[in-house]
Structure 1
């Protein structure tokens, strides 16, 4: 990924504060954040909720960027924003492609949250129910607003406002109707979609509005010659809600959006026909099903537990529902800031990068393999475009673009041509994600329906990129850029070469798995190239230089060579691993993203330095998580970069799952090694680990580690080796794991196919000195 800091950000921030301080008269913007006067000087607000799954505050963030989002994988918005985004809806050609803005006809505000009022609203995000709530305690009533993107009626964003009258015992009290002023704040017209003036109609006695437009430009005329249709419907919103002087009432307002006019209208009508509480319960039930499938609980450290629960909430909000009133549209992947953002350059315009496969995918795979499948399906759906890109650049197979969106073509900004040209490791990262997916699922159907093809074609790409160097006897991969984007157009990037080598080895392995129905030519040739790829290594310092010719002492942007140890799990001496960690920790620039420190944390846990790991662990999230709604920024305070930064969240989750829990995924086993408690935690539980169809729970305390089996897949007999005994697993069994492991869960070999060697450059025999 790229990140370009404005040189004068701090100056701009200071000027912004001066302007806010000078403006005493509050002007309400279409984005509708809390009043400026209420929030002057409040860089962050406090989360006052004692519940781990609820984030509550009396004061909204002074910066609207740090408001939470709601979403269901089809439609999403930031709370009190004037913008709604939809899965797969983009505007702009090529590098100017970005999420297309739909005006937020769902942005309804209680006036008591807009102006100075003698009330103290409580704003809450409930991550278990997938809802944002506003509660206002007034003189004569309690008003509660619920805002959510419905998890079953997936085209709908719902606002429900409940007004409960208070009982007055004063005999002199004069009862009157209760009037609650509200306001619809959709913002200005969209610059991305040509919407005609909305047309009203009456449905079951209620006025609804509808308009259908088209995006103005496509990403690539060759791939998608026509603009994309989009239709929106919403209920009319009055200036006041009026309720009787006693009792209570729930008002429901809805906005729907879809590419299909009939679906958008039918969904709105159906939602309005639902009883208000039944409508809400249908939504909550779908969220509860998700958390029943998998969850992470950390006892004893409430702050950490909330951060983890916030991450899962934001991830799931951008992933599609498993059950929907209307069939779901094709899914277009997870971008670095999720579905609720992506209209701007700063938020990476809603594009897909290596971030998805490298940072978000692994934890999702372990708890929600169905979603991992959907993420890989996006790559399968755009593979034909990757084939064209490879051909265009003079290569074979599939070369996936650095950034992609609706059509799958390269959509990197014109500002940053180098990343599109050189950062080719994304194709290897996709292959590595496939490796993890096959290791945990053995999904034969996926292989038959495109999996064999994508793996072997990615290998063909790397074969065409590797050129024999007759002076060294190794294959070089030249003119690339590793994850460290401060160094471009380098040769033999150590990360790129290893992930390319793993891609070549995986193709050899998959060729065996697929031999009954897919016959690539000479699969061993791929392994021969991988075996002989150059792998930069320094005997003098016993570490991996980032690339051939790297000069010691040269600063880097973010974790690069250290990724060999994790997530790639490339075999090396412990001393080499420790030297990589120690050296690059001192060379990473201070304003890099959080994932660096997540990977360093895992590394120090792997070399059994828990105190060092704990110290770096704090660096991996402190300053990146913004209160009160646990929204992540790409950069540490006072900067922000991209918001809400799923990439940083994904790296942090890996620290929890693959670091402290000690889980690791291999082609022939699931391993648990040296499980530990995160800092200040007393108990740590991962429920719903999925491995070969089994549903497992890992429970860690200071005194014991337990592995429990909820269910198994009849197709795969699982055995646990605890270092001494083999234990056949069965539903309902709980095994106490002695010591620190490693503990191995495994099944019989898959189709008797030989596992790949996964040795790059024969480094164990002849290190390359650079």
Structure 2
């Protein structure tokens, strides 16, 4: 009896591991994008590449000095194509069924495949490629050829598979040498050692970076794999492992090759399924199939650039999220793989919902580069820490030489980082992390802001002069209202955190408070709106979301002034603006309960930016030049859905409470209900289900002391778990953690 039960359990486990992927997680097409730049990007936080592209990139590996630094391109030896051949030649397109080739990205299982059915040969060939999510030093290519039942074969002669790799040109970033040729007599693997050619900045990078690439097959020539006539199914795989340490790459390859193709693939899909089932997912209910696919693809592309939490060997330090992710970075259109404010303002609020460890690894990049930020402040004549507009391996300024004014004037990135630290603390309530990681950064950023401010004692005012806000069409302005507002928030948080962590002087705290209190926030009293900067003339065209960010995400001003900002800047933002701009309009309109406008801008924020085949985002609307796989746009879009329509937020109140907020919810057009699973808050796990004007919030905290709900003047202790329903006529809900 026990054996029967075990057998049934094992069958159930196998079925769950190889269950058919739901259609909302399967992106399938019979024709490729006209621009292959919009092929899907695959990654695991250590390695990444674009399908059919000529480059592999590795976390933290850059080449080039200063503004010429960019992700160091590794030739894509995994870009392999399979052909079915016999002694008469190879199959051609004439042998393929009509629509006999499908290209698929399986978001739930985390891989890309090409499936071709050869009509006249009675054969199907599946090619599958993926960076392994658990064995994350490994890149996998597999081909499975099958003889189909009840199909006539034109030729019964023996077949062979011809595998040809297309790695692209030699790398201009590495000097590669063969350290082991992988000959059969040695019983070892072909191994290349690569060293980057140019240092980013010698002070913080005294030596070139070094990587090792190991191959399960040499790949220095076309492979011809014999397929005996008696064999119905033929499987072959190629594994490449890459790491800074040869021993790590070697162990990864050895351990992977001990597994069958089935078990290796199963371990990969289990890791991806575990993320969707246990860490984060969004279910869209209603007549919104394409929106569901876009949401799932957006989450997938973000997670693909983040480190896997559970891996076979310990992860290296993470080097941050760039606007187009880990699988790109060799081109100017990819922003060379650099880190911007995009990380903290546009992507991190969503990443923090995936799990604290993901967010901490992103923020740890800033912590590790604090000394470089202090160096940058000092060399530009200021105190404290000035985080560069663009950073890469060393954490120093690497903005493209084309645009010096950007690196000189977009100082808001430093308080942006402090703001992100505050938001994460409001969600996590991790006091040890706040004092160990957040405090050193916020303290040094506050010192930079004080030294950068120009204060006029006679008027009791402080200003930031000669700056550029998020709107990069307007350089050399004074008192950009976004820069000043986020700096106020940063200075106030530094003051609070200094008191909380108990290791700074009263004099220093008072200095920060004084500058914060005196910073000018421009407001036109006649028109009741915030001019973007001194001298701004209403209806002057701007590039992107700037002043409207004072509402969401800053929660700095949600008054009628903010409503007027939305109206005015909606008519003054250029049509070719980046994707996340319209998402921020949508989130802010939704929070102002201007539903028609929210719906309009939400749809505008993705419908003109997402390529249909694999739901890859463009930075600019279709028809304009811009970046591909634009994670910044994905982050803004998901924020509009979760924090706009879902009315969720984490933040700090005027009386220094750090809370979770729920407001009035709505759903996007054609959506009946949205369910968001596994939202972390403190030590708890929560889920949110929202509909038009009602929502259900469920949280469970098995470690802490429980929750308290504040609704208007009423306070209610909720215990260690609760399930609440809120209707539109109810006061907004605030949830605090009991300590």
Q: TM-score, normalised by structure 2?
A: 0.90
Alignment CA distance shift 1:133-1:728 (3 Å): farther
Equivalent of 1:444 in 431, 442, 448: 431
Deviation at 1:445, TM superposition (A): 2.5
Structure 1 residue matching 2:181: 3-state secondary structure: strand
Indicate if the aligned counterparts of 1:75 and 1:86 stay in contact, CA closer than 8 A: yes
Alignment CA distance shift 1:742-1:82 (3 Å): farther
Equivalent of 2:512 in 497, 511, 526: 526
Which region of structure 1 is more displaced relative to structure 2, 582-591 or 191-200? 191-200
- 2:65 equivalent in structure 1: 93
- 1:493 equivalent in structure 2: 480
- 2:636 equivalent in structure 1: 651
> Whole-Å Cα distance in 1 between the matches of residues 232 and 132 of structure 2?
27
The yes-or-no answer on 1:283 pairing with 2:247 is no
| CA distances 1:209-258 after superposition (whole Å, capped 9, x unpaired) | 21102000011112112111011112325533333434323212111111
The yes-or-no answer on 1:601 pairing with 2:586 is yes
- 1:125 equivalent in structure 2: 105
Alignment CA distance shift 1:542-1:173 (3 Å): closer
Deviation at 1:199, TM superposition (A): 3.8
- 1:160 equivalent in structure 2: 142
Indicate if the aligned counterparts of 1:355 and 1:647 stay in contact, CA closer than 8 A: yes
The yes-or-no answer on 1:578 pairing with 2:558 is no
Q: How do residues 125-204 of structure 1 correspond to structure 2 at under 5 angstroms?
A: 125-138=105-118, 139-168=121-150, 175-197=156-178, 199-202=180-183
> Whole-Å Cα distance in 2 between the matches of residues 204 and 696 of structure 1?
58
> Whole-Å Cα distance in 1 between the matches of residues 177 and 516 of structure 2?
57
Structure 2 residue matching 1:631: 3-state secondary structure: coil
RMSD: 2.3
| CA distances 1:667-690 after superposition (whole Å, capped 9, x unpaired) | 221111111111111121111111
Alignment CA distance shift 1:402-1:214 (3 Å): same
The yes-or-no answer on 1:550 pairing with 2:536 is yes
Alignment CA distance shift 1:520-1:254 (3 Å): farther
Indicate if the aligned counterparts of 2:138 and 2:241 stay in contact, CA closer than 8 A: yes
| CA distances 1:322-378 after superposition (whole Å, capped 9, x unpaired) | 111221111000000000001111110000000000100111113322111111100
Which region of structure 1 is more displaced relative to structure 2, 679-688 or 202-211? 202-211
Alignment CA distance shift 1:740-1:600 (3 Å): farther
Alignment CA distance shift 1:176-1:733 (3 Å): farther
Q: How do residues 616-695 of structure 1 correspond to structure 2 at under 5 angstroms?
A: 616-667=601-652, 668-695=658-685
Alignment CA distance shift 1:274-1:205 (3 Å): farther
- 1:22 equivalent in structure 2: none
Deviation at 1:105, TM superposition (A): 1.4
> Whole-Å Cα distance in 2 between the matches of residues 206 and 137 of structure 1?
37
Structure 1 residue matching 2:733: 3-state secondary structure: strand
> Whole-Å Cα distance in 1 between the matches of residues 149 and 381 of structure 2?
77
> Whole-Å Cα distance in 2 between the matches of residues 189 and 114 of structure 1?
30
Indicate if the aligned counterparts of 2:388 and 2:407 stay in contact, CA closer than 8 A: yes
Q: TM-score, normalised by structure 1?
A: 0.87
Structure 2 residue matching 1:365: 3-state secondary structure: helix
Deviation at 1:702, TM superposition (A): 4.2
Equivalent of 1:234 in 205, 215, 220: 215
> Whole-Å Cα distance in 2 between the matches of residues 693 and 587 of structure 1?
43
> Whole-Å Cα distance in 2 between the matches of residues 267 and 353 of structure 1?
32
- 1:27 equivalent in structure 2: none
The yes-or-no answer on 1:82 pairing with 2:54 is yes
Deviation at 1:471, TM superposition (A): 4.9
> Whole-Å Cα distance in 2 between the matches of residues 118 and 472 of structure 1?
81
Indicate if the aligned counterparts of 2:280 and 2:678 stay in contact, CA closer than 8 A: yes
Structure 2 residue matching 1:255: 3-state secondary structure: strand
- 2:727 equivalent in structure 1: 738
> Whole-Å Cα distance in 2 between the matches of residues 244 and 370 of structure 1?
49
> Whole-Å Cα distance in 1 between the matches of residues 91 and 331 of structure 2?
26
> Whole-Å Cα distance in 1 between the matches of residues 344 and 708 of structure 2?
29
The yes-or-no answer on 1:430 pairing with 2:430 is no
Q: How do residues 259-338 of structure 1 correspond to structure 2 at under 5 angstroms?
A: 259-291=244-276, 292-300=278-286, 301-338=288-325
Matched positions, count: 698
- 1:612 equivalent in structure 2: 597
Equivalent of 1:410 in 389, 393, 397: 397
| CA distances 1:657-708 after superposition (whole Å, capped 9, x unpaired) | 1110011211221111111111111121111111112111111234842112
Deviation at 1:498, TM superposition (A): 0.5
Deviation at 1:528, TM superposition (A): 2.4
Which region of structure 1 is more displaced relative to structure 2, 102-111 or 431-440? 102-111
Alignment CA distance shift 1:704-1:422 (3 Å): closer
| CA distances 1:535-562 after superposition (whole Å, capped 9, x unpaired) | 1100010000011121223211111111
Deviation at 1:742, TM superposition (A): 4.7
Deviation at 1:64, TM superposition (A): 1.1
> Whole-Å Cα distance in 2 between the matches of residues 478 and 169 of structure 1?
75
> Whole-Å Cα distance in 2 between the matches of residues 370 and 362 of structure 1?
13
Deviation at 1:449, TM superposition (A): 2.5
- 2:655 equivalent in structure 1: none
> Whole-Å Cα distance in 1 between the matches of residues 111 and 296 of structure 2?
14
Alignment CA distance shift 1:557-1:704 (3 Å): closer
Structure 1 residue matching 2:679: 3-state secondary structure: strand
Deviation at 1:140, TM superposition (A): 2.7
> Whole-Å Cα distance in 2 between the matches of residues 742 and 259 of structure 1?
55
- 2:10 equivalent in structure 1: none
- 2:18 equivalent in structure 1: none
Structure 1 residue matching 2:565: 3-state secondary structure: helix
Indicate if the aligned counterparts of 2:435 and 2:497 stay in contact, CA closer than 8 A: no
- 1:44 equivalent in structure 2: none
> Whole-Å Cα distance in 2 between the matches of residues 309 and 656 of structure 1?
13
| CA distances 1:495-531 after superposition (whole Å, capped 9, x unpaired) | 000111111000111012201x566753133122211
Deviation at 1:720, TM superposition (A): 3.1
Structure 2 residue matching 1:587: 3-state secondary structure: coil
> Whole-Å Cα distance in 2 between the matches of residues 203 and 309 of structure 1?
44
- 1:699 equivalent in structure 2: 689
> Whole-Å Cα distance in 1 between the matches of residues 695 and 91 of structure 2?
51
Q: How do residues 715-754 of structure 1 correspond to structure 2 at under 5 angstroms?
A: 715-721=704-710, 726-729=715-718, 733-739=722-728, 741-747=730-736
Deviation at 1:714, TM superposition (A): 2.1
Deviation at 1:721, TM superposition (A): 4.1
> Whole-Å Cα distance in 1 between the matches of residues 146 and 734 of structure 2?
55
Structure 1 residue matching 2:643: 3-state secondary structure: helix
Q: How do residues 209-224 of structure 1 correspond to structure 2 at under 5 angstroms?
A: 209-224=190-205
Alignment CA distance shift 1:126-1:519 (3 Å): farther
Indicate if the aligned counterparts of 1:350 and 1:405 stay in contact, CA closer than 8 A: yes
Alignment CA distance shift 1:89-1:114 (3 Å): farther
Equivalent of 1:243 in 220, 227, 230: 227
Deviation at 1:418, TM superposition (A): 0.3
